[in-house]
Chain A
């Protein structure tokens, strides 16, 4: 696979943010080594079930693909099968209207894995010499039918794929390729917005695990729901790949990410401003994708670095935008998990109070004693834990374990997003902070400095249950509000309560929710039939998008990937 080309330079676009859209060559030449890369890759390329966790953009896909490429090169290693389950939410509507949705979703998971197996057999050069039960074409056709919900009632018995059959086929590929173990690298697994699918995925994952199959799955922190039979630790080891900004190797790693990607002239421009570069690295908060995004803003915003230059004002603007983008991911959960809409609204206030608390604490502290950590006393209310989980999913909060303070209690520690701290002047609690001070505070901070914030300060005097009511739709027949989140039948009229499909709600969203300028959105709407997210996803060949002025193949692909990302 080749990376998309930049429309102006015709060179591979160095600002492609997601690893799955980067070609193999670029993946090797562009990506820097994660500080724990060797140990992580060892776990990803050897036996045993593993779950790699981290928020969006922290490098999960890059690590899976690196493991994949390493195994491909090592002929004595395991057979790498890379599968991306990003489209799984397309199956979610089946759960709302088809009684056999679990079977159908399992078929989809098996078919996607089988598709990965065929691709792996091709990559190791054995596909022509073996005979598999399903052809590539059949698999694609079945997947296509499942993804549009067409096969609901017409799935033929001969088309049914089972785990034993998949194992048998894997064995055929293993034997012909001379490898002893299959390493399944399952990306974008356990979709964050569909708990039922998450549970079914983990049952599938558990059943896949065998002597010769080692599944590895990438999941999100804070929002993952496991099935009752799945036990983290016992069924799979968790590997947290979110790079800690207080790691001594952090800064050099982030710099390498840029150095490897950027053109020498652009990189030199950043090197000339070492403190601004350091600040950008810290503001990325362990997410290489955020760093690339901020640099893209700086480079492309004003016709290149030369145009606007790497200045303090522009860097702070990019950091502000980075915080807005990260927070937007959190806010979007109110649409993607509508039941928790109040958690998101109130959660925004909670986050601000955490920042305010830290700001207050930092007011009287010198540069080496600034706090970036909020400490919340245990026990933490279930509702607040849920909100903190959503913060972790979005990358706004990094858990840092717990600390005991004797009689004062035990506290859960959470590092606040550095972009949020910079943007809110939470360090030093004053305006016009010098870049040197920011960098000093982040680079040389005292790990014992943290801000204790009581639950009352975060939530006020209301009971958590009252502050975070679940947003449950009323009975569709008599409009009576639901009595409880567990209600499946209306307590007034007795009718079964209907749950709306998240996927169907998301594809109905206006395209203005994509990260596009309002001018571009207006142009797309007036020059094509595209109005909603679903319209973009239906435009497979990008014909509609290409008909819009100033949208060529590069931007068409980019907008399509934005839409895919929105539902992923």
Chain B
């Protein structure tokens, strides 16, 4: 008998029996980052249905985390893809260090990912900083990115409480969200309406980000890349096709939701015309 054992049960020794069973090999990544974001988000939306969410209220916050996570993943993917192809971004990122473990694991195949593995994208400031530091991409409040980033930041305040406090809202998050103070505790509550809204905010951020970063990289292709020592004029079209592929959404194209649909060549010529190359 020990007084120490008088307060809760004892379960003995427990360990992960096979850590490999927790992970799964997936095929090589194909298509654009935005399409992968769409696929993930739709998968999450498909399980976040009103009947399920009302009978299992714990599900809402978990799907909500999935939405934030898939948004962060898009950013990591598009950052690394841009870093891989853009000389200007490479210059900006040159002074930043990466974790040796990440480099060893990726072994040169997706080394760019290593740069962002230790970075969080769960917050507007973090995203802005990473844009500046790794892509040399800055924007102000007049940018179409500003509003969606602000809204995403508010979602991230809630995410913090779900991840770290089982949904209990921390004071600093409550203050950031400008919530009126209450006497008791505030808990994050994510039902169907909030989940759908959060999915739309994440999608709005990603579509705006994809458009704005594409515009920036296309501009660099038209202007700055040509001044870099590794520029080969004969590769001009191929390079544009590659960068176009990084950002182009086949899902939006198939669903006819692209505002101004253009073929690749047409788009390339329009970029050239914009920057006086035609």
Contact = CB atoms under 8 A, between A and B. Distances in A.
Given A494-B42, A495-B255, A486 B147 contact: no
A554 interface: no
A469 to B, nearest CB: 16
22 contacts: A99-B145, A99-B205, A99-B208, A100-B142, A100-B146, A103-B146, A157-B140, A160-B140, A229-B178, A483-B49, A483-B50, A484-B50, A484-B192, A487-B196, A488-B199, A488-B200, A489-B45, A491-B45, A494-B38, A494-B45, A494-B46, A496-B200
Interface residues of A, number: 26
Interface string B253-275: 00111010000000000000000
Contact of B204 (A99, A157, A487): A99
Interface of A: 97-103, 152-153, 155-157, 160, 229, 231, 477, 483-484, 486-489, 491, 494-496
Given A100-B148, A486-B196, 16 more contacts: A99-B145, A100-B147, A101-B147, A103-B146, A155-B142, A157-B140, A160-B141, A160-B142, A483-B50, A484-B50, A484-B193, A486-B193, A486-B197, A489-B199, A489-B200, A494-B46
A496 B200 CA distance: 8
Given A101-B147, A484-B192, A157 B142 contact: yes
Nearest to A101: B147
A477 B255 contact: yes
Contact of B144 (A100, A231, A494, A495): A100
Contacts of B145: 99-100
Contacts of A103: 141-142, 146-147
Contacts of A153: 144
B226 to A, nearest CB: 25
B250 interface: no
B192 A99 contact: no
Task: State the main secondary structure of chain A at its contact with B.
Answer: loop
A99 B45 contact: no
B161 interface: no
Contacts of B237: none
B203 interface: yes
Contacts of B50: 483-484
Contacts of A483: 49-50
A156 B141 CA distance: 10
Nearest to A151: B142
B143 interface: yes
A160 B143 CA distance: 12
Interface string B27-47: 000000000001000100110
A477 B256 CA distance: 9
Interface residues of B, number: 32
A483 B256 CA distance: 22
A489 B141 contact: no
Contacts of A489: 42, 45, 196, 199-200
Contacts of A102: 147
B10 to A, nearest CB: 46
Contacts of A491: 45-46, 49
A99 B42 CA distance: 21
B144 A99 contact: yes
A497 to B, nearest CB: 9
Contacts of A229: 178
Contacts of B140: 157, 160
A98 B211 CA distance: 12
Contacts of A486: 192-193, 196-197
Q: Quick one: which of A98, A99, A486, A495 has the most chain B CB within 10 A?
A: A99
Contacts of B46: 491, 494
Nearest to B193: A486
Nearest to A107: B142
